[in-house]
Structure 1
Amino acid sequence: MSHQIRFIMVGGFLGAGKTTTLGRLAKHYMDQGKTVGIVTNDQATDLVDTNTLRSQGYSVGEVAGACFCCNFDELMGTIERLGTEEVPDVILAEPVGSCTDLVATVIQPIKRIYEAQFSIAPYAVILKPSHGRRILRNEQRAGFSPKAAYILKKQLEEADAIIVNRIDELSDDAVNELAELVSTHHPGIPLLRLSAKTGDGFEGLVQFLEQDGDFGRRVLDIDYDIYADGEAELGWLNSSLRMTSETEFSLDEVLLDIVNTLRDSLADAEAETAHLKTIGLWEGFFGVANLISSEDQPELSLPSNCQVKEVDLIINARVACDPVILEEHVKQAVADVCQRHATTAEFRQTQSFRPGRPVPTHRYDSGE
């Protein structure tokens, strides 16, 4: 048999920890001497995740402008471009965090159309503890409407395994509660416990992904009207800018200040945050700060430990509010941060919108 690429896709809701998990997986496979390509995905360009992974030295292609399912040909073209010099042993794929029905629209088409070129790993979906707990409990204060919560529930339903992430931040009781909620809603689906940040539980994930078999068969019975309405409730923003100053400033303090300021202003507006990320890049170094929900604290996930006079920033925000209002919050937050740190900012590009209705390129039932 000719060389087959191992296709590993890891799904999960916005802020679940997909990028950190894929980065750790990439390092693991590269340490084994394997060639690895990563494909990120977003509804727009200027993706923090892409820049973060590239800054860590990984070979990354980006599918922008639509989800994998709606831009399937671009996904396969991106994989092909990653293999221009050497066919990768492993492709790690990170889908948009507001997408579901990926078994029928991504995994099954790869199986049918590219069967000779790829072997399919089990499809793992990461459960985001903060929103996952509230949604699976059916709490009124889940932060999202039932239509948006529908997406997270459907993501879990199609998984070959569900990963409870961030166990380093959770008590044993909290982890056990999440495990019980998952087993109640999705009996029979294996559950893994993981800290993508520290690596606790990582060996179990690797062992699960190494299995061979007919994975990716949990094709959903899904209502695309509810799915589309749920996605459209999220305001989406990707913004790039350059920040400068006559004197040096702490990049890490600025990154955290932007996220903190946005967290507070969005909370005051009662707009639930699905995910905020910002990355600062300049001359070989970078730093990343993020926020995964309105009830969490901002985190400097990848510190730069740098003092700078000039830096390029990218801000990604996924928030349950009107995208026009979201853009106003972001620009005001940057202005406030500039004032506090004696800096100036020049916005280069801002895209703010609601995701359109998903229209998959292909959709196969597992029995077709």
Structure 2
Amino acid sequence: MPHRIRFIMVGGFLGAGKTTTLGQLARHYTDQGLNVGIVTNDQATDLVDTNTLRSQGFDVGEVAGACFCCNFNELISTMGKLSAERRPDVILAEPVGSCTDLVATVIQPIKQLFDAEFDIAPYGVILKPSHGVRILKNEPNSGFSPKAAYILTKQLEEADLILINRIDELSEAEINEIAALCAEKCPGTPLLRLSAKTGEGLGEFIEFLAQDGQFGRKILEIDYDTYAEGEAELGWLNSSLTVASEQTFLLDDFLVGVVFQLQSKLKKAEFEPAHLKAIGLWEGFFGVANLISSDTGVELSLPSDCEVKRAEIIVNARVACDPQLLQEFVEEAIQEVANLIQLEVTFRQTQSFRPGRPTPTHRLAEPVA
């Protein structure tokens, strides 16, 4: 029998918890003695997720500059490089959080063109409670326009499984409300409760992913004009920089401070963050701080517990605002926190833009037989 790689893609809106979930899955499969490769995806380079997963010791390839669907050939090439180097049994793929229609443009084309090489697992989509509830309830203050909200609802519609994340932060009543909203929006789609952070519910997710059958076949009816306009409402920023001081400083405090300052600026300007992330790297140590919405707190999701004199920093921001203004906010926040603890900042590269119209390499109108 030829070696077939199990392809597991986990979708979800920006800030849903995809990276944390993939890290949990990768550890599980590695503990089972399997070789695991991970492919991350972004509209730009300098992706916090890639560095986070690599810093945890995983074999990670990155598809940068466009989403999986619009850069399908690069996705296949990246998976091929992982396969050539380590011959993985499982490849975990994390698509851009503002993308949808991935069954028609990624899963089914892989099945049609590369069925001998890849075995397709069920497609799970993670629901982010903070924005997800407001969008599913059609609340006018969701923080995003109906066109941007359209993307999240379409992500859920094409899922084989919806995962309600962050159950460790929710009451039973809140979880039941989210489950009822999902069942109303996507009747018949299985639901699982998950905490990517603690691992609760991960076993049930792994059992679901182990199934074979008619999965990854939900071809959406989708309006690409609405989809494109919704994506273009988000300002996108990736920035890399170095901070240094003659005295040691707490790396985690700097990361949290930057994200907190940025949250304050965005809140004052009434711009909704979809996700903010900052990673600090120093001699094999790393820390990550993030924010997933305006009404949640800044979280030190991965503490470094380090005092350093120098660190490499990457900031990713996805916010419903003009990208040039977003860049000004980010640079101001970094400089203000650096000034407080007397750090010298050297910006290396910053990319800020609005995502362009999605133009898939392939799009199948019907699932492969």
Q: TM-score, normalised by structure 1?
A: 0.99
The 1-side partners of 2:213 and 2:366 are apart by 14
Aligned residue type for 1:335: Q
Q: Which amino acid aligns with 1:334?
A: I
Q: Which residue of 1 aligns with 2:171?
A: 171
Post-superposition Cα deviations, 1:15-68, rounded to whole Å, max 9, x if no partner, equal 000000000000000000000000000000000000000000000000000000
CA distance in 2, matches of 1:338, 1:74: 38
**Offset at residue 86 of structure 1 (A):** 2.9
Mapped contact 2:287–2:303 kept (Cα < 8 A): yes
2:353 aligned with 1:353: yes
What is the alpha-carbon distance in structure 2 between the residues aligned to residue 246 and residue 116 of structure 1?
56
Tell me the distance in 2 between the aligned counterparts of 1:106 and 1:352: 26
The equivalent residue for 2:245 is: 245
1:208 corresponds to which residue? 208
| Equivalent-residue separation in structure 2 for 1:366 and 1:300 (angstroms) | 43
Of 78-87 and 103-112, deviating more is: 78-87
Q: CA deviation at 1:367?
A: 4.2
Residue number in structure 2 paired with 1:23: 23
C-alpha distance after superposition, 1:206-229 (max 9, x if no partner): 000000012111000000000000
How far apart, in 2, do the equivalents of 1:242 and 1:173 lie? Answer: 45
1:297-350 CA-to-partner distances (Å, cap 9, x unmatched) read 000000000000100000000000000000000010011101111111110000
Would the alpha carbon gap of residues 189 and 310 (structure 1) be closer, same or farther in structure 2, given more than 3 Å must change?
Answer: same
Map of 1:190 onto structure 2: 190
Q: Which residue in the other structure is 2:325 paired with?
A: 325
Q: Give 4+ residue runs of structure 1 displaced > 6 Å after superposition.
A: none
Aligned residues: 368
* Residue aligning to 2:45: 45
Residue type of the alignment partner of 1:22: L
What letter is aligned with 2:320?
A: A
Q: Does the alignment pair 1:124 with 2:152?
A: no
- State the partner residue of 2:134: 134
For residue 35 of structure 1, what is the aligned residue in structure 2?
35
3-state SS of 1:69 partner: coil
SS at match of 1:85: helix
Task: Please show how residues 52-71 of structure 1 align to structure 2 within 5 Å.
Answer: 52-71=52-71
Match of 1:341 in 2: 341
Q: Distance in 1 between matches of 2:86 and 2:288?
A: 30
Amino acid of the structure 2 residue aligned with 1:116: A
Where do 5+ consecutive residues of structure 2 fail to align?
none
Q: What are the superposed Cα offsets for residues 212-261 of structure 1, whole Å, 9 maximum, x if unpaired?
A: 01211100000000000000000000000000111000000000000000
CA drift of 1:366 comes to 2.8
Partner SS, residue 274 of structure 1? strand
1:235 aligned residue: 235
Aligned-residue sequence identity (percent) comes to 68
Q: Secondary structure at the match of 2:169?
A: coil
Deviation per residue, 1:144-200 (Å, 9 max, x gap): 000000000000000000000000011111101000000011100000000010011
* Secondary structure, counterpart of 1:276 in structure 2: strand
1:266 aligns with: 266
Structure-to-structure mapping, 1:282-301, within 5 angstroms:
282-301=282-301
Query: For residues 216 and 253 of structure 2, what CA distance do their matches in structure 1 show?
Result: 43
CA shift, 1:365, in A, is 2.2
Deviates more, 1:336-345 or 1:123-132: 336-345
Q: TM-score, normalised by structure 2?
A: 0.99
- In the TM superposition, residue 84 of structure 1 has moved relative to its aligned partner by 1.8
Task: Work out the CA distance in 2 between the residues paired with 1:100 and 1:302.
Answer: 28
Once residues 102 and 56 of structure 1 are traced to their aligned partners in structure 2, the CA distance between those partners, rounded to angstroms, is 27
**1:328 partner SS:** helix
What is the alpha-carbon distance in structure 2 between the residues aligned to residue 75 and residue 148 of structure 1? 25
Q: Secondary structure of the residue that 2:237 maps to in structure 1?
A: strand
Give distance in 2, aligned partners of 1:50 and 1:56. 10
Q: Is the 8 A contact 2:281 2:287 kept in 1?
A: yes
In the alignment, what sits opposite 1:314? 314
Report the RMSD for the aligned CA atoms in angstroms.
0.6
CA distance in 1, matches of 2:13, 2:367: 27
